[in-house]
Amino acid sequence: MERNAERTKANILAAAVAEFSDKGFAGARVDSIAEMAGCNKGMIYQYYGSKEHLYDEVIAYEYQTLSNIEAEIIQNHTDLRELIDVIVDRYFDFLLRHPDFVKIIMWENLNEARSVKANPSLEHVKAPIIECIREAVRRGRREGIFNENANSKVVVFALITGAFSYFSNCHTLPVVLRIDLNNPEFLLSCKQIVKAGIRSYLKK
């Protein structure tokens, strides 16, 4: 029974990710989530309490998914110059494989980060990657590689927005700029610009 409960909760969460990413909090329907999850609506309220709490769980789940990737990067890469390249590549790859993440974060921004602000655990969700880069920047300063004014939060901001904007504008920019975002060469060029911009910022 415990395994069935965990499976049902996972199915509900997956269905909720799809529904909230497609319609946002206001437009999402619990009935639709239950239908996609293959359960009755009562089970959703039993496991998650309310539509609001389920939405909060989805936001936390999406951030944690990316944080798991950041943790793996931190564990395996210590040189900042290599770290920047790896993070940019992994962010782009993650967003390419998780379009629901992009949509949900865009909806949450439209909602003025209501769920993020209400969840204390998300206040420090970026702390590990910020501290990792901060320490690498300190080391780079001591070695005379990076400039004294380099700010680790600026680096993280540039890493995230440089990758995120590629996918958050995936419908409009191809039309107005007449570009193909699915072209591997174009994607590679955009990655290189993000990497080069951060290296230029850090350079002494």
pLDDT in tens, 18-72: 999 999 999 999 999 999 999 999 999 999 999 999 999 999 999 999 999 988 8
> Domain 56-202 in CATH: superfamily?
Tetracycline Repressor, domain 2 (1.10.357.10)
**Three-state DSSP class for residue 60:** helix
> How far from chain centre, in Å, is Cα 49?
25
d(CA 182, CA 161): 19
- At 80-106, the pLDDT tens digits run 778 889 989 999 999 999 999 999 999
d(CA 70, CA 68): 5
Are the CB atoms for 168 and 108 separated by under 8 Å? no
Residue 78 is given by DSSP the state: -
What is the pTM for the complete model shown?
A: 0.87
> What residues does each domain of the chain span?
1-49, 56-202
> Domain 1-49 in CATH: superfamily?
Homeodomain-like (1.10.10.60)
